Chain A
Amino acid sequence: MRRLAQMVLTLFVLITILFFLFRILPGDPLTMFLDAALPVEVQELVRAQFGLDKPIGEQYYLYMRNLLRGEFGVSFYYRRPVLEIIGDKLINTLFLMVASLTITFAVGVLGGSLVAWQRGSTLETLAVGLVIFLRSAPEFWLGMMALALFSYRLPLFPLGGMNTPGQNFHGFLEQYFSLDFLHHLLLPALVSASYYLATPFLVMRGSMIEVMKEDFIEMARAKGLRERQVLYRHGLRNALLPVVTVLALLIGFAIGGQVLIETIFRWPGMGREMVLAVQRNDYPVAQAAFFLMGVTVTFLNFLADLLYGYLDPRVTYD
């Protein structure tokens, strides 16, 4: 419960910072649409339409009030409701993000523990080298190399986008739960997963090595458990805890990388929309996009915390 209140407070601070941040950025949202030749009265009228003539304090109050009602306002650029513009894009982004984070952690946890068991082997040296290489290479470079290799040289994957063009979808399920979607999702998800892999992989490896030295591991062996049971039930289970902590941190980073991945793979997600909105001084869209990203990060963090509390009985949230 306290954790939930913290989450709300975090979001409130976030949206406040966003609101003022965009307003102190140079540039006026209306200069793009308003012809300087228009009479000043007309210019003022348009300004008033968007509520930009009011003092900033009042704008803030109105914005917050609308937000609580679930209204994100109207885009200055598209002149359509913000939710209409970014609603679908948020879902697209979430699909890609969750897919790549799942791959990152599944491979990181299993791979990291595997090389910890095979401590000192060639496999360990190679795997550690590889994940560090993937982490050191810029994400956009990885993305372009992947496209060049697996979409252009070997046409295994589509060059970008989310679905093969020219299709009409009847409803949500048909669009997102199809082989075609999966086919488009795989490459960007793998690229961003391989970029983030190093963190859970190395944390898991280190954590596993430490845990395997613990007294309770020796005890599990003394109890006559099979080596596999010792490793999974006691080793991996305990080594997982620091990885969950890292998960929470990594989610935040992943959002930033999302912008690059979406641009390279022409993924119709929110990362791209966010960048455009900032460039256009489209306050409502930018604010909403950042806000929703913030909600996503905060919420995923909250889930990670809950997961940690579930995995470690020593931690309680009251």
Chain B
Amino acid sequence: MNLLEIKNLKIVYRTQAGEARAVDGIDLNLTAGKNLGLVGESGCGKSTVVRSILRLLPPNARIESGRISFDGKDLSKLPERELESLRWQEISLIPQGAMNSLDPVYRVGDQIVEAILAHEKASRPEVWARVEKLFDLVGLAPFRLRDFPHQYSGGMKQRAFIAMALALHPKLIIADEPTTALDVIVQGQILRRIKEIHQLQGGSMILVTHDISVVAETCHEVAIMYAGKIMEFGRVEEIFQEPAHPYTMGLKNAFPSVTGERRRLISIPGKPPDLINSSPGCLFAPRCPFATSLCFREMPAEQEIAPGHLAACHHLDRREELRVRAQKEDTWGEERPVSHSS
């Protein structure tokens, strides 16, 4: 049974230049107990997707269509009160901006206690003792609970959030770039910590990141997002060993290898497309080294190339060949012309 099901989700932002289609028809399924990675460049809509799950979108965002159901409940139709009790209790969030996500005027301990007491009837000292145990678990000294956020380092805040996110044993933790602000060593420690504790509790996680190596370490499945669409979806090993979509291949080139082989990093030239005036074709086409005229004309549909492995590309049948070519630096050379001419 799927814990989370997202069907054809479309979210637009009202901006001064017009409506920006941040999320454009996304389908996602998450099985209970599994971790899902949501990977993409900045601005590809990944944070918007996870925020819509908790209904925490900014006021200028609007869900145009789609269904988000969690544990059998349609989240977009849930009354405010029920939503409030579901938040944190069943879905918790490790925020992107951990630096500013703690209220500066309250003690860190009090803020975690507040989250617990919003959902449970319990005495304060009892809850405090529980939070002390949690702090111990995430590697923070319990006496630090009495400190204010400004007395914490970035890594400590992040750990405090993990403690907070785990406090109520939620079924789902959404970690929105939980480690971006941290150095690589601390990143690894923290991710392993979340994974250990949370999986022990049998919970699932959605990990939003632009760093594919983080996903490889933590997740079972991964969705590669680009310009509000999912380009490729599948099990982590499959996606990283046999990427089918040129964008995934490009992303893989842009990061140091997970397995440790030495090679040059190749970046994908160009920048993500304009979400306000989008073209009819594949949104990645302008940056894709393998794009043909078909790619600019028509949006490719999602196809299942192996059980549980989906990709949206017109050239999936040539994927073996493309994979070899994608590893060469020349292939990604210069920026591709915006309009196609051949």
CB proximity of A188 to chain B, nearest CB, Å: 35
Contact B105 A237, beta carbon cutoff 8 Å: yes
Contact A224 B105, beta carbon cutoff 8 Å: no
Task: Please indicate the chain A residues that have their CB under 8 angstroms from the CB of B148 in the complex.
Answer: 313-314
Q: Does B85 count as interface, using CB distance less than 8 angstroms?
A: yes
> Measured between alpha carbons, how far is A15 from B105 in the docked complex, in Å?
38
Q: Does B114 count as interface, using CB distance less than 8 angstroms?
A: yes
Task: Please indicate the chain A residues that have their CB under 8 angstroms from the CB of B88 in the complex.
Answer: 222-224
CB proximity of A231 to chain B, nearest CB, Å: 13
Tell me which of A216, A222, A312 contacts B54 (CB under 8 A): A222
Question: Number of contacting residues on A, CB 8 A?
Answer: 22
With A218-B95, A313-B148, A314-B150 known as contacts, the answer to whether A225 contacts B118 (CB < 8 A) is yes
> Measured between alpha carbons, how far is A190 from B192 in the docked complex, in Å?
61
Q: Total contacts A to B, CB within 8 angstroms?
A: 68
With A313-B104, A313-B105, A313-B148 known as contacts, the answer to whether A223 contacts B114 (CB < 8 A) is yes
**Residue on B nearest A311 in the bound complex, by CB:** B105
In A160-193, the 8 Å CB interface with B consists of: none
Contact B105 A238, beta carbon cutoff 8 Å: yes
Tell me which of B99, B102, B115 contacts A224 (CB under 8 A): B115
Contact A219 B93, beta carbon cutoff 8 Å: yes
A209-239 contact mask (Cβ, 8 Å, vs B): 1 or 0: 0000011101111111111010001100110
Contact B95 A225, beta carbon cutoff 8 Å: no
A124-151 contact mask (Cβ, 8 Å, vs B): 1 or 0: 0000000000000000000000000000
Contact A216 B100, beta carbon cutoff 8 Å: yes
> Measured between alpha carbons, how far is A286 from B303 in the docked complex, in Å?
90
> Measured between alpha carbons, how far is A220 from B103 in the docked complex, in Å?
9
Tell me which of B85, B95, B105 contacts A312 (CB under 8 A): B105
In A221-269, the 8 Å CB interface with B consists of: 221-227, 229, 233-234, 237-238
6 tightest A-B CB contacts, nearest first: A224-B87, A215-B100, A223-B115, A215-B101, A313-B148, A224-B88
B-side interface residues toward A, CB under 8 Å?
Answer: 54, 56, 80, 84-89, 92-93, 95, 97, 99-105, 107, 114-115, 118-119, 148, 150, 164
A-side interface residues toward B, CB under 8 Å?
Answer: 214-216, 218-227, 229, 233-234, 237-238, 311-314
Given A215-B100, A226-B84, A229-B118, 19 new contacts (CB under 8 A): A216-B101, A216-B102, A219-B103, A220-B103, A222-B87, A222-B92, A222-B95, A223-B87, A223-B114, A223-B118, A224-B85, A224-B86, A224-B87, A233-B114, A238-B103, A238-B104, A313-B104, A313-B148, A314-B150
